[in-house]
């Protein structure tokens, strides 16, 4: 149907069928299905239900005025004050993002129904285009609920079947009631935590939390593995563990290890210090169960295969020391500031090593190896520019390999550069070295590659 | 000539090296140069105090080479045979015995001399080291010092040996019937335990918290917590820790730092307290105090030149060579990257325990690229010795300074690439040749190049040091040796030190390029390098005005700057260039005005030149800055005596003795005054006292012999004269005097 967009037709599809109605005692399972949690999360029923009611976009879908989408994204209730509350969650989008999304989801190429506010916004953000909108649409997980022929549902949020293993009930309730960003960025900006605010009332929170906490093994397969996002799986329950009793001295020792020696703060924030790739470490005891924290610190892949967080090469006693420190540290849980910006388009590169580089290296070293990854501004030592041919020509391949394997500390460089030796095999590491050589378009020094193949 | 100074001061632990004139300059730090952390002997609790709470670590340490590094003599500590089997010298025998009371003794019997029984008060070492384990012994002397005995034992050779370097220039030699007792530099005992600027010493490394100091009026005092290497040697003083931990609640301050969180330099400083040669900046270091306040690890390069161009051991250097290694310069390797610090076993960089010192994971936990397919790197069968990382990159090399006779090989901690041709040029046995002794260096080099192609280039300074020759001009030398951008501080220091000693003359100026490079080196935060660069500019400065910047420098830099100028002055004196020596000392005085050590050295210089009134002024000024220095009183007395003021000289000698009743040189010079005054009886009494408290001084024996001869006691004089000759074999004046006495005795013409 072409012509002037029919707002009413879209509005009817924007409502979620409300289980039991607002007055009934909500059922957790029904709520989870109705809200479409499974569209992003593994371990709960999939998003079929929500996709049946969330309006589709793109070619073949009912046309929608871009200005309507623009304003709706700002506050659905303002746009549609006279009908039942939509379950469209809030995303706290900025103006530029709303412009880009509006341009992407509408088919109205002629831009009818554009009002002055939207026109002004477009003028303020001339670079916000459909491509940006698509990237954001995918990054935010919109495609989990809204079908769009140009977009793929790529968000893989944590496996909710293991909620009871991971989080503390009190924190979960607070989080559902008022979600905050846990992971500020992920391996690339736009891939951080995207849990929207469903504006749940207390009864709904209680129902959903109760449902999630009693879940066992996942009945629903996890989304396909994707290196750029952590695919969760149902892990074996970590053995019960309580943090060690640490003296103030031991606490200080652990904090010094974290701040001055280990690589954790290359990705995680502690207080005002640290990177923005992974979740903030403050207040972790409020959020996560101790045995889960310990398991993460020892071997994150045991909980999340394919995670970019490397397994530590440190000895168990010190890992327990640091895990205990994180759990005992007197710091409130505050969530993180989501790293702003749209997901940077990744270069289409299928070279061996490219995927690992983009997932594990690019956050700091930049997708083109310019040392300008989104996480670089948060690091005290600028990451090496792998594209710097002159500098990289001085480094033997083996030095690059060793740095990837054992971390920056052993090279006398930044201790924030993690050691991937326990997570990447020889082949993957060599592929990374080869990929880095494509970025600098250079080779290592002659003395390091001469002879009969000896290194 | 009558001696005016002690014959030796701070030295590499087993060698008597060139004596820096200003080695004692650290005795009198100015007010701004007080230690930041004051640590006293009473602050230490002893290892036993650790055992209760830290049982695992204590047990591990107790069985380690540190825990078994020495102690009181007993069956647990002594590995040498104290079974009465004589150690047979050419001129006597020594019986190592245990008496009925359990005392360990050396009974020394020499023809024509009274039997001497020396009590063993300390056992040093346990013969643990793979490349040559030794054990030495120390005895407490009447003057309050504790001194090494010349009877050392090699576990590998199962034989007694002694260090002949000081007197015979040969190094460590097994005792044979060709060896005279006096060939051993430590007979009579001379090297003291503890750091004492006025004595040849081994600093404070052969035990824990060894302190030796002069208590004015009482004499020398020597104390230690233990003669093994105790917990507090690494962790610092723990008495407060014990007290704090005994209280009900503990805070973040437990009275000890965490070694776990040490940075690279902090960690290395713990080990380099002992495992590096170093010059004394200030006496009195105790573990836990910042090392740089008390020692300079790079200054020995300027004085005793312990390292080859690539940092390997030229003479004797312990493991400070690590500072030249790429693992340190280009990485973050510390001692505890491989050495587990309690049991002193081995672990990898992630603290995973390793079987032994040959385990490749010491290296491959960092150099992981070599681990995946090691045969592509080693070119040796996987299970062969040639496939072990350490066998090629850390071969055991005999330290040249001790000579070839007694095994004392240490693993090469510069961790070099094998370069057979270069190794041969440097006089070293390359790692390749260590196994393939049937192949020439050229053939081995060809094999290396066939397998690995061109080997990794040497750092710029090492390459420069190898390229530079006496014919190199100063401009080219500057380009070859001065490399401000070289990452290694030790190499940078070594290049600059070579440039300074080879191409810089006092007031001689520097070329523009050299000034630019040295100025950049002077911006280094490393106090040794910074001081050396500043001193270089200062030496070259014709107007001597470079010192103007000195006041803005930290005390640690100024003190090193002054020491460097003192070392150069000393070397100038040895060359006979008195003018240069004075010029350098005057520069030193400008760096730290009023420094007692500089004024002492200036006084000595004036004395050498016969400028006695100037010498008296300088010595007097020195004493005004630091009155508790008996050696300066002795020198002042000598200057007064030379100026004709015998009474004034006696007063100074007596002042010296009031500070240190065992000041041998005061007695010796007092005897000289008596002898000149025609009072041989008083002279003999003084000389006898000098011999009693300082038997190691040949001049005391000689002068006693002369005095005895004067009163006709020629038969009593002869043994002393002969001993003087034995103790100073290179001294022609002594030999002539002894020959004269013997002639007199033969002619029965008593004097």
* Residue B303 pLDDT level (bands cut at 50, 70, 90): confident
pLDDT of res. A7 = 36
Residue B83: exposure state from Cβ atoms within 10 A (0-12, 13-18, ≥19)? exposed
Confirm whether B472 is domain-assigned: no
Q: For residue A407, is pLDDT > 80?
A: yes
Whether A450 and B377 lie within 8 Å, measured CB to CB: no
pLDDT of B131 over the 80 cut:
yes
Residue B121 near residue B136 (C-beta atoms within 8 A): no
**Interatomic CA distance for residues B338 and A410, integer angstroms:** 13
Cα distance between the two ends of chain B: 20
Q: Beta-carbon neighbour count of residue A78 at 10 Å?
A: 9
**What is the pLDDT confidence band of residue B751, given thresholds at 50, 70 and 90?**
very low
Q: Which of A304-308, A345-349, B10-14, B673-677 has the lowest mean pLDDT?
A: B10-14
State whether A451 and B251 contact (CB < 8 Å).
no
Contact A405 B369 (CB under 8 A): yes
* Chain B contact for A314 (CB, 8 A cutoff): yes
- For CATH 1.10.760.10, the residue range(s) in chain A are 354-448
Which of B399, B417, B435 represents a domain boundary (last residue)?
B417
Tell me the pLDDT band of B619, cut-offs 50, 70 and 90.
Answer: very high
Name the residue facing A454 among B261, B332, B452 (closest C-beta): B452
Shared domain check, B271 and B195: no
Average pLDDT over residues A354-360: 92
- Looking at the partner chain, which of B254, B351, B453 has a beta carbon nearest the beta carbon of A450? B453
Dist CA B595 CA A425 (whole Å): 62
From first CA to last CA, the distance across chain A in angstroms is 68
Nearest to B343, CA basis, from B75, B61, B609? B61
Residue-number span of the structural domain to which B314 is assigned: 264-278+289-417
Structural domain contains residue B271: yes
Q: Are B297 and B389 in contact (CB under 8 A)?
A: no
- Give A166-197 pLDDT, tens digit per residue: 999 999 999 999 998 898 887 766 677 878 88
pLDDT over 80 (residue A410): yes
d(CA B202, CA B274): 10
What single-letter DSSP state applies at residue B28? Answer: S
pLDDT in tens, B580-612: 999 999 999 999 999 999 999 999 999 999 999
Q: Contacts for A247-252 with beta carbons within 8 Å, 24 or more apart?
A: A247/B250, A247/B254, A248/B250, A248/B251, A248/B252, A249/B250, A249/B251, A249/B252, A249/B253, A249/B254, A249/B258, A250/A321, A250/A325, A251/A325, A251/A328, A251/A329, A251/B252, A252/B252, A252/B258
Minimum mean pLDDT range among A91-100, A433-442, B175-184, B422-431? A91-100
Count of other CB atoms within 10 angstroms of residue B391:
20
The CA distances from residue A369 to A372, A376, A389, A432, A435, in Å, are: 7, 12, 11, 12, 10
The tens digit of pLDDT for each residue in B654-678 reads 999 999 999 999 999 999 999 999 9
Task: Judge whether B158 is closer than 8 Å to chain A, CB to CB.
Answer: no
Residue A10 · residue A53 · CB < 8 Å: no
Q: How far is A401 from chain B (nearest CA, A)?
A: 6
Q: What is the pLDDT of residue B183?
A: 94
Nearest-angstrom CA–CA distance, B478 and B513: 7
CA B692, CA B120: separation in Å to the nearest integer?
19
Rounded to 5°, angle at Cα B701 from B700 and B703:
65
| pLDDT for the residue A81 | 56
Mean pLDDT of B444-463: 93
* pLDDT tens digit sequence for B335-345: 999 999 999 99
Reading the block at residue A280, the tokens are 């903030």
**Percent above pLDDT 70 for chain B:** 94
More confident residue, B547 or A14: B547
Is 1.10.760.10 the CATH classification of the domain at A354-448?
A: yes
Q: Which stretch of A273-277, A359-363, B657-661, B731-735 has the lowest confidence by average pLDDT?
A: B731-735
**Quick check: B38 and B91 in contact, CB under 8 A?**
no
User: How much is the CA Rg of chain B, to the nearest whole Å?
Assistant: 27
B107 within domain boundaries: yes
pLDDT at B49: 96
Going by pLDDT thresholds of 50, 70 and 90, the confidence category of residue A5 is very low
Task: Identify which of B260, B332, B377 has the shortest CB distance to residue A409.
Answer: B332
Q: Which site among A262, A384, A406 would you substitute to test the B interface, given the most B Cβ atoms closer than 10 Å to its Cβ?
A: A406
- Write down the pTM of the prediction: 0.89
Are A447 and B352 an interchain contact pair (Cβ–Cβ within 8 Å)? no
Question: Is B459 part of any domain?
Answer: no
Q: Give the confidence band of A55 by pLDDT, cuts at 50, 70, 90.
A: confident
Q: Rounded to the nearest 10 degrees, how much is the dihedral formed by the CA atoms of A58, A59, A63, A68?
A: 20
Q: Do A397 and B369 touch (CB under 8 A)?
A: yes
Q: How far apart are CA A270 and CA B604, in angstroms?
A: 62
A75-89, A244-258, B225-239, B576-590: lowest mean pLDDT where? A75-89
Best probe of the A interface among B57, B337, B369, B415, by most A CBs < 10 A, is B369
Residues B619 and B739 grouped into a single domain: yes
How many whole angstroms separate alpha carbon B738 and alpha carbon B723? 9
Q: Touching check for B253 and chain A: CB below 8 Å?
A: yes
Q: Could you tell me if B294 and B386 lie in one domain?
A: yes
Tens-digit pLDDT profile for residues A133-143 = 888 888 788 88
Subunit contact A398:B250, Cβ cutoff 8 A:
no
Tell me the mean pLDDT in the region B121-133.
Answer: 95
CB contact under 8 A, B453 and A451: yes
Contacts of A236 (CB under 8 A, 6+ apart): A302
Q: Is residue B7 predicted with pLDDT exceeding 50?
A: no
**Domain assignment present for B454:** no
pLDDT computed for residue B31 by the predictor: 44
A with B: how many residue pairs have Cβ under 8 Å apart? Answer: 96
Average per-residue pLDDT for chain A? 83
pLDDT at A40 over 80: yes
Burial of B330 (0-12, 13-18, 19+ CB in 10 A): middle
> Is B409 found in the same domain as B326?
yes
8 Å CB contact between B649 and B638: yes
Q: Which two tokens stand for residue B14?
A: 């087993």
Contact yes or no for A455 and B451 at CB 8 A: no
B450 close to A (CB below 8 A): yes
* A57-61, A254-258, B49-53, range with the lowest pLDDT: A57-61
pLDDT at A451 over 70: no
Confidence of residue B750 (pLDDT cuts 50, 70, 90): very low
> With a CB-CB cutoff of 8 Å, which residues 334-363 of chain B face chain A?
349-352
| Alpha-helical segments (H) within A14-94 | 28-35, 48-53, 66-74, 76-79
pLDDT at A79 over 90: no
| pLDDT tens per residue, range B510-534 | 999 999 999 999 999 999 999 999 9
Could you tell me if residue B205 is inside a domain? yes
- pLDDT above 50 for B16: no
Of B376, B400, B417, which residue constitutes the final position of a domain? B417
Question: Tokens representing B18?
Answer: 């060139």
Which pLDDT value is given to residue A194? Answer: 79
Residue A242 sits at the chain B interface (C-beta within 8 Å) = no
Window from A54-58, A168-172, A438-442 with minimum mean pLDDT: A54-58
Contacts of B609 (CB under 8 A, 6+ apart): B578
Domain boundary among B396, B417, B438: B417
In this model, does residue B244 exceed pLDDT 90?
yes
> Quick one: pLDDT at residue B122?
97
What pLDDT does B32 receive?
46
What letter does residue B575 receive in the DSSP assignment?
Answer: T
- HSE-up (13 A, CA, CB side) for residue B527: 20
Least confident piece of the model among A38-42, A79-83, A125-129, B293-297: A79-83
Where residue B8 falls among pLDDT bands split at 50, 70, 90? very low
Q: Does A252 touch chain B (CB under 8 A)?
A: yes
pLDDT digits (tens, 9 = 90+) for A188-222: 666 778 788 888 999 999 999 999 999 865 444 44
Is residue B639 situated within a structural domain? yes
Write down the ipTM of this complex. Answer: 0.90
The answer on pLDDT for A231 being more than 50 is no
What residues of chain A lie within 8 A of the CB of B455, using their CB? 447
Let me know whether B575 and B677 are in one domain.
Answer: yes
Mean pLDDT of chain B: 91
DSSP H helical ranges for A167-315: 169-177, 202-213, 248-256, 264-267, 284-287, 290-298
Q: Do B456 and A448 touch (CB under 8 A)?
A: yes
Q: How confident is residue A345, by pLDDT bands cut at 50, 70 and 90?
A: low
pLDDT at res. A44:
86
Res B362: pLDDT = 96
Q: What are phi and psi of B637, to 5 degrees?
A: -60, -40
Please name every residue paired with B152 in a beta bridge, in sequence order, or none if there are none. B161
Residue B676 lies in a domain: yes
Residue B637: give its domain's CATH number.
1.25.40.10
Question: B345-388, pLDDT tens digit by residue?
Answer: 999 999 999 999 999 999 999 999 999 889 989 999 999 999 99
* Residue B10 pLDDT: 30
Q: How many domains does chain B have?
A: 3
CB environment A242-271: b (16+ within 10 A), e (fewer): ebbebeebbbbbbbbbbbebbbbbbbbbbe
């Amino acid at each position: 149907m072409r012509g002037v967009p029919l707002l009413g037709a879209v509005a009817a599809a924007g409502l979620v069928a409300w289980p039991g109605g607002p007055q009934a005692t909500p059922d957790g399972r029904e709520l989870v299905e109705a809200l479409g949690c499974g569209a992003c999360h593994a371990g709960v029923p999939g998003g079929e239900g929500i996709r049946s009611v969330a309006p589709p976009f793109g070619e073949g879908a009912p046309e929608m005025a871009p200005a309507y989408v623009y304003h709706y994204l700002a506050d659905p209730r303002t746009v549609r004050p006279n009908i039942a509350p939509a379950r469209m969650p809030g995303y706290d989008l900025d103006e530029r993002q709303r412009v880009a999304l509006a341009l992407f989801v509408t088919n109205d190429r002629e831009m009818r129904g554009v009002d002055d506010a939207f026109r002004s916004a477009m003028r303020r953000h001339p670079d916000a285009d459909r491509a940006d909108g698509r990237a954001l649409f995918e990054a935010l997980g919109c495609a989990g609920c809204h079908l769009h022929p140009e977009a793929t549902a790529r968000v893989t949020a944590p496996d909710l079947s293991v909620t009871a293993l991971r989080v503390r009930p009190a924190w979960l309730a607070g989080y559902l009631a008022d979600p905050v960003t846990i992971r500020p960025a992920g391996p690339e900006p736009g891939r951080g935590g995207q849990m929207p605010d469903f504006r749940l009332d207390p009864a709904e929170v209680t129902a959903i939390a109760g449902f999630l906490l009693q879940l066992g093994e996942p009945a629903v397969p996890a989304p396909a593995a994707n290196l750029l996002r952590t695919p969760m799986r149902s892990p074996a329950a970590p053995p019960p563990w309580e943090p060690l009793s640490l003296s103030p001295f031991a606490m200080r020792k652990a904090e010094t290890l974290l701040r001055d020696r280990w690589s954790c703060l290359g990705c995680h924030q502690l207080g005002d210090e640290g990177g923005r790739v992974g979740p903030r470490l403050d207040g972790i005891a409020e959020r996560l169960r101790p045995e889960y924290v310990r398991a993460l610190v020892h071997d994150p892949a045991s909980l999340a295969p394919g995670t970019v967080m490397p397994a530590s090469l440190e000895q168990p006693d010190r890992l327990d020391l640091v895990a205990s420190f994180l759990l005992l540290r007197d710091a409130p849980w505050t969530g993180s500031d989501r790293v702003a910006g749209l997901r940077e388009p990744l270069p289409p590169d299928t070279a061996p090593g490219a995927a690992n580089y983009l997932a594990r290296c690019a956050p700091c070293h930049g997708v083109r190896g310019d040392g300008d990854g989104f996480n670089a501004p948060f690091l005290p030592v600028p990451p090496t520019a792998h594209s710097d041919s002159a500098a990289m020509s001085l480094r033997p391949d083996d030095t690059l390999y060793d740095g990837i394997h054992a971390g920056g500390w052993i090279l006398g460089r930044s201790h924030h550069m993690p050691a991937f030796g326990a997570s990447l095999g020889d082949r993957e590491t060599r592929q990374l070295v080869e990929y880095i050589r494509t970025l600098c378009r250079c080779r290592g020094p002659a003395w390091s590659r001469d002879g009969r193949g000896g290194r | 000539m009558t001696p005016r100074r002690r014959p030796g001061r701070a030295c590499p632990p087993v060698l008597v090296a060139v004596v820096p004139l200003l080695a004692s300059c650290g005795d009198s730090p100015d007010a701004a140069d007080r230690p930041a952390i004051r640590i006293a002997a009473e602050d230490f609790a002893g290892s036993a105090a650790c055992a209760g709470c830290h049982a695992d670590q204590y047990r591990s340490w107790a069985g380690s080479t540190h825990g078994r590094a020495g102690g009181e003599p007993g069956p647990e500590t002594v590995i040498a045979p104290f079974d009465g089997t004589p150690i047979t010298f050419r001129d006597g025998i020594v019986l190592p015995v245990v008496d009925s009371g359990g005392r360990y003794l050396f009974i020394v019997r020499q023809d024509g001399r009274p039997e001497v029984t020396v009590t063993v008060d300390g056992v040093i070492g346990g013969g643990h080291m793979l490349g040559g384990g030794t054990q030495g012994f120390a005895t407490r002397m009447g003057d309050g010092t504790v001194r090494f005995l010349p009877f050392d034992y090699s576990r590998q050779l199962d034989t007694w040996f002694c260090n002949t370097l000081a007197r015979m220039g040969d190094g460590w030699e097994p005792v044979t019937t060709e060896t005279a007792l006096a060939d051993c530099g430590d007979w009579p005992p001379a090297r003291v335990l503890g750091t004492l600027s006025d004595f040849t010493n081994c600093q404070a490394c052969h035990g824990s918290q060894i302190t030796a100091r002069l208590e004015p009026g009482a004499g020398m005092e020597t104390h230690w917590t233990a003669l093994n290497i105790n917990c507090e040697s690494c962790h610092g003083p723990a008495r407060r820790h014990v007290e704090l931990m005994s209280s009900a609640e503990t805070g973040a301050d437990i009275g000890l730092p965490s070694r776990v969180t040490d940075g690279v330099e902090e960690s290395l400083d713990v080990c380099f307290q002992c495992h590096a040669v170093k010059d004394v900046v200030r006496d009195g270091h105790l573990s836990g105090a910042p090392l740089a306040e008390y020692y300079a690890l790079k200054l020995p390069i300027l004085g005793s030149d312990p390292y080859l161009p690539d940092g390997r051991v030229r003479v004797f250097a312990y493991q400070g060579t690590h500072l030249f290694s790429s693992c340190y310069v280009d990485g973050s390797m510390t001692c505890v990257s491989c050495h587990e610090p309690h049991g002193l076993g081995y672990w990898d960089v992630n603290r995973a325990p390793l079987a032994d010192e040959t385990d490749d994971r010491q290296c491959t936990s960092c150099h992981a690229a070599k681990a995946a397919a090691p045969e592509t790197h080693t070119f040796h069968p996987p299970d062969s010795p040639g496939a072990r990382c350490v066998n090629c990159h850390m071969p055991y090399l005999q330290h040249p300074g001790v000579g070839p006779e007694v095994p004392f090989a240490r693993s090469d901690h510069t961790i070099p690439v094998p370069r057979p041709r270069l190794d041969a040029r440097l006089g070293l046995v390359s790692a390749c040749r260590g196994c393939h002794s049937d192949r020439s260096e050229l053939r081995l080099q060809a094999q290396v190049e066939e397998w690995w192609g061109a080997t990794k280039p040497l750092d710029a300074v090492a390459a420069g040091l190898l390229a530079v020759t006496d014919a190199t001009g100063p401009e080219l030398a500057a380009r070859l040796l001065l490399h401000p951008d070289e990452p290694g501080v030790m190499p940078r220091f070594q290049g600059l030190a070579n440039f300074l000693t080879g191409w810089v003359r006092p007031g001689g100026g520097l070329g523009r390029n050299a000034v630019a490079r040295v100025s950049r080196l002077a911006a280094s935060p490393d106090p040794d390098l910074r001081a050396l660069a500043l001193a270089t500019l200062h030496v070259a400065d014709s107007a001597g005005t470079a010192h103007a910047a000195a006041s803005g420098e930290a005390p640690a830099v100024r003190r090193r700057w002054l020491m460097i100028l003192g070392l150069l002055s000393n070397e100038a004196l040895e060359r006979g260039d008195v003018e240069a020596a004075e010029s350098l000392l005057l520069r030193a005085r400008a760096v730290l005005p009023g420094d007692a050590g500089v004024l002492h050295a200036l006084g000595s210089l004036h004395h050498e030149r016969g400028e006695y009134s100037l010498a008296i002024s300088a010595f007097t000024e020195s004493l005004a800055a630091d009155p508790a220095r008996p050696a300066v009183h002795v020198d002042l007395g000598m200057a007064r005596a030379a100026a004709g003021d015998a009474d004034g000289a006696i007063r100074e000698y007596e002042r010296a003795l009031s500070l240190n009743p065992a000041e041998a040189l005061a007695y010796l010079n007092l005897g000289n005054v008596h002898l000149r005054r025609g009072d041989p009886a008083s002279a003999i009494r003084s000389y006898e006292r000098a011999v009693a408290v300082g038997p190691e001084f040949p001049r005391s024996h000689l002068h006693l012999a002369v005095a005895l001869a004067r009163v006709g006691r020629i038969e009593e004089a002869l043994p002393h004269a002969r001993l003087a000759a034995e103790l100073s074999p290179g001294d022609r004046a002594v030999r002539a005097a002894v020959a004269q006495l013997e002639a007199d005795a033969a002619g029965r013409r008593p004097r």
